[in-house]
């Protein structure tokens, strides 16, 4: 069982970080970034070619994060692999010590740096979650037996901000029934919509069946917020944050302040079991945010990987 799973089961308010693997073969870059997260977060998401831009594979990046003494949440998209590749990668990942996985359908290939590529989409994210549960129970998707099955902690994503809200709640229920253990959301910049969503989740009782981990994102400038509002489909950003960032003397400080406030508010929200901090290209800010949000010290890691690192 992963430490991340154990903490959630104990009822701790968890903190996840996020790291984008490099657009190069530079292993040292990942090991270096691990320093920002050690002792600060409980697990780190490793993105899988996010926005369809080619990067180091999330599996190998996750392996390096394990080496660096952290617990990875490996993201896996259905855009680049068919059901054979997905399943074989899951087996390999688990064998390499990766115990948390986040299942995503994936950004469409035309948004990335190889827009001429073929998107696979053999499965969708709900079917990938179902596949993982089957594999955990010792069966491939074909029904064939797995002698030594993986025991992955299965995650899915939810977007509380995009339409249609009612269907999104239905789909969340599908993900739970398919086998999701935790859910990570898009970054929260709109509490009107988020509160409405979490209330609907609570009304269905889903917050009791799955661990909901809300996303937050520190931003450096008002431009970043405006870009997200204009160009990232399915994002919602309240005017309040735009005007605050615009009028701030030091936008970076304001970005941190907004992020810390958001975390504190989410901490008090019923049904939210943790936060997922996703600073895009600004990983170094994570320790400061976690500290200011009064979430330090983190519960002590007890996974075997960590003990190995300490012995060395």
Tell the burial category of 132 from Cβ atoms under 10 Å away from its Cβ (0-12, 13-18, 19+). Answer: buried
Q: Which is nearer to other proteins, 12 or 204 (CB)?
A: 204
124 binds other proteins, rule: CB under 8 A: yes
Looking up tokens 């789909």, which residue turns up?
A: 171
Q: Which stretch binds other proteins (CB under 8 A): 146-154, 172-180, 189-197, 294-302?
A: 172-180
164 binds other proteins, rule: CB under 8 A: yes
Dist. CA 48–CA 53, nearest whole Å: 9
Q: Which residues pair with 116 in a beta bridge?
A: none
171 binds other proteins, rule: CB under 8 A: yes
Residues 183-222: x where in contact with other proteins by CB under 8 A, - otherwise, as a string: ---x------------------------------------
114 binds other proteins, rule: CB under 8 A: no
Residues 6+ apart with CB under 8 A from 61: 19, 21, 30, 46, 55, 72
Lookup: tokens for 84: 């054979």
177 binds other proteins, rule: CB under 8 A: yes
122 binds other proteins, rule: CB under 8 A: yes
Q: Which is nearer to other proteins, 166 or 239 (CB)?
A: 166
Q: Which stretch binds other proteins (CB under 8 A): 53-61, 92-100, 114-122, 210-218?
A: 114-122
Residues 219-258: x where in contact with other proteins by CB under 8 A, - otherwise, as a string: --------------xx------------------------
Contact 131, 87 (CB under 8 A): yes
User: What residue ranges bind other proteins (CB under 8 A)?
Assistant: 79, 83, 105-108, 110, 119, 121-127, 130, 141, 157-159, 162-164, 166-168, 170-171, 173-174, 177-178, 186, 233-234
């Amino acid at each position: 069982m992963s430490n991340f799973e154990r903490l959630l089961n104990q009822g701790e308010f968890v903190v996840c970080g996020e790291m984008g693997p490099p657009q190069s073969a530079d292993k040292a870059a990942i090991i270096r970034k691990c320093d920002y997260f050690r002792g600060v977060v409980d697990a780190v998401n490793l993105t899988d070619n996010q926005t369809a831009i080619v990067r180091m594979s999330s599996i190998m990046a996750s392996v390096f994060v394990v080496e660096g003494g952290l617990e990875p949440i490996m993201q896996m998209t259905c855009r680049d692999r068919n059901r054979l590749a997905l399943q074989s990668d899951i087996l390999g990942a688990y064998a390499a010590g990766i115990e948390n996985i986040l299942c995503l359908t994936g950004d469409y290939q035309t948004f990335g740096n190889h827009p001429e590529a073929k998107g696979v989409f053999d499965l969708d994210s709900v079917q990938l979650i179902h596949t993982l549960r089957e594999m955990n129970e010792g069966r491939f998707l074909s029904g064939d037996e797995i002698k030594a099955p993986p025991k992955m902690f299965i995650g899915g994503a939810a977007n509380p901000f995009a339409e249609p809200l009612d269907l999104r709640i239905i789909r969340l229920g599908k993900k739970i029934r398919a086998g999701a253990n935790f859910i990570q959301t898009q970054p929260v910049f709109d509490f009107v919509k988020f509160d409405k969503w979490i209330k609907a989740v609570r009304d269905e009782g889903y917050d009791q069946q799955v661990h909901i981990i809300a996303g937050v994102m520190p931003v450096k400038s008002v431009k970043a917020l405006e870009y997200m509002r204009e160009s990232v489909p399915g994002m919602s950003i309240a005017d309040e944050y735009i005007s605050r960032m615009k009028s701030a003397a030091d936008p970076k400080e304001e970005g941190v302040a907004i992020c810390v406030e958001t975390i504190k508010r989410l901490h008090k929200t019923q049904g939210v079991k943790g936060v997922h901090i996703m600073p895009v290209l600004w990983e170094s800010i994570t320790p400061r945010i976690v500290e200011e949000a009064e979430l330090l010290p983190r519960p002590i890691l007890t996974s075997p990987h960590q003990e190995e690192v300490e012995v060395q």
